[in-house]
Structure 1
Amino acid sequence: MECRLCLGPAPAETSVSIFSDPHPQRLEQRIRTCCQIQVKRGDGLPDTVCLSCKTNLELLISFREACFRSYETSQLRLDDCLKIKTEEVLLEDVIWDDEPALPTIHQNNSEISSQAFPSETKLILHERSHTGEKYTCDICLKSYSQRSNLTFHKKSHTGIRSHRCDICLKSFIRKHHLASHLRSHTGEKPYKCEICLKSFSEQSSLRIHEKSHTEPHVKLHKCEICLKSFSRKSSLVMHVKLHTGKKPYKCDICLKSFAEKSNLEKHKKVHTGIKPHKCDICLKSFAQKTVLVIHLRTHTGEKPYECEICLKSFAQKCKLQLHKTKAH
């Protein structure tokens, strides 16, 4: 029995198993966060840590969290100071009774853009879209027009994810990301397309979908292997993975691999035991809505996938592809 971190002796009575630690944030996640060491079940390396290393790890986590809390407090104080300075500058912008009123820079910019804003702060943020002024991350050099967005972005480098899903224990940096994730468990899709009434769980997905109605002919990204075209580069990137056979997204529970991250997230629902999608005919429940749709075809007899060679029909697309491989 060796310690995963120091390779010292770690007898069962004085060691802690990495994958059975009762702490709310799993031990393997804390090791990855603080030590940047990848820890996976069944990787052939020790799966225990000695009490000394565990204590040091907890101290390191507490110290990191304290540092980041102090950093965020300092950022808020700095933002408050900048806000006060901005207000002081605005107070100096006084028009004397015997002088004609001259347009300010802010007025000129608002006239150029023909937009009105409810507050001076909103106008200042808007003006950065014209000036190009941005706040840059000193770690990865990614830029943002608002300091608050940069502050949130920097949390992605710390590994601290304070918003946790109570169902699957997945953690997120921002609260609204957790809210969007929870819809993957409930099946809620509050964003509806006004044209075709198709619903989506996230507003960003709806915006992308709406472009298919306004710009249905624009498909600029073409696969060099099969020549299929896509309107978004991200869709092409995911499609190419089907040709390469690469499956970089692995389930940390059963080690099954997937080509797309979204398919991995759907697969993980199987391990939670939650099945929110119920068949109205036989009352059988399913973890994924797509599986329910396929199941309903056993009641309706629908077979939408037809072989163009022999005209045989199938209820599932994968069955059609298997048929083509074997029969033709």
Structure 2
Amino acid sequence: MMECRLCLGPAPAETSVSIFGDPHPERLEQRIRTCCQIYVKRGDGFPDTVCLSCKTNLESLISFRKLCFRSNETSQLRLDDCLNIKTEEVLLEDVTWDDESSLPTIHQENNEICSKPFLSESKLVVHTKEKPFKCEICLKSFSRKSALISHEILHTGIKPNKCVICLKSFFHKHSLESHKISHTGVKAHKCEICLKSFTRQSNLEKHKKWHAGIISYTCDICLKSFMQKNDLVLHLRSHTGEKPYKCEICLKSFSKKSSLVTHAKQHTGIKPHKCEICLKSFFHKSGLGSHEISHTGVKPHKCDICLKSFNQQYNLERHKKLHTGIKSYKCDICLKSFMRKNDLVLHLRSHTGEKPYKCEICLKSFSRKSNLRRHKKLHT
């Protein structure tokens, strides 16, 4: 049984109507907002269906409102005729409206009738595709001034909309409202195939592509395919070497913004995730999760060659390279090869003399963190 968004009454699933799946030109959520003054949003935690009875009543109300608008328009035309005012003959079918205060108006564009109401003449540019409002910083153009104002906030770097729970900030209010859903734990959008739930309808739509096997974007270099354009953009950076996100503290660059955010936490020195068994702290929750496995003694990842077991898949993959004997990482200075990238990084410091790890007590520096850790024991 489903629950109706309007009357909260139970309704059989086969007779319930999805608010966001209605094919009607006037979307169902817009009609609910206009007639009932109830603002329905995807993922707001409320039921996203209406029962057949409420939908019928809503349609009756819509028809009555349209009748009133048509009658009012007809009366206005008659009044204009009485005053000898020439008016343009227009069609009044399927008139829509934005809110209670705006009456439906008609305008012609390319000899076609558009029944959508406009509050100002500036909104007519959506039909001409004209974009008269240009950003002075990046020269991007917009058809509406409100869109330009919203865009200009991005250049200021100011994020005025802050979440009171996690203090994360956003440029726009709608982004904050969408983010708040993640704190409620409500996942109202469920996949009908695998029953996995999502907080947002957009995430569900992306997930459905995996089931459908839809591949829309292909890399021209290696022909690897992706379902989302953003994934292709990130992949192309592996070919170009582009790393647009730079740390302001150590100037290290990253190809993904999420990688920069993860890296930046290391400069704060704050390790909020602590192991309840040995009290060891970690920058990230994922690091704590991997560490906690070591206390269980479980090593589910086993090498197929020597049967040695590991508690993490990463450690197993690193171990397997020892069996292949392949040394993929070569020093450009002395041509010495290494199986692991980290070993090459440590080796390069022998050429550069770099010693990034410094003792806070005697200020002595070391090229390896393990050497610094061993040195600190001398002070204790």
TM-score of the pair, normalised by structure 2: 0.42
If each structure's helix is expressed as a fraction of its own residues, which one has the higher value?
A: 1
Structure with larger RCO (C-alpha < 8 A, sep 6+): 1
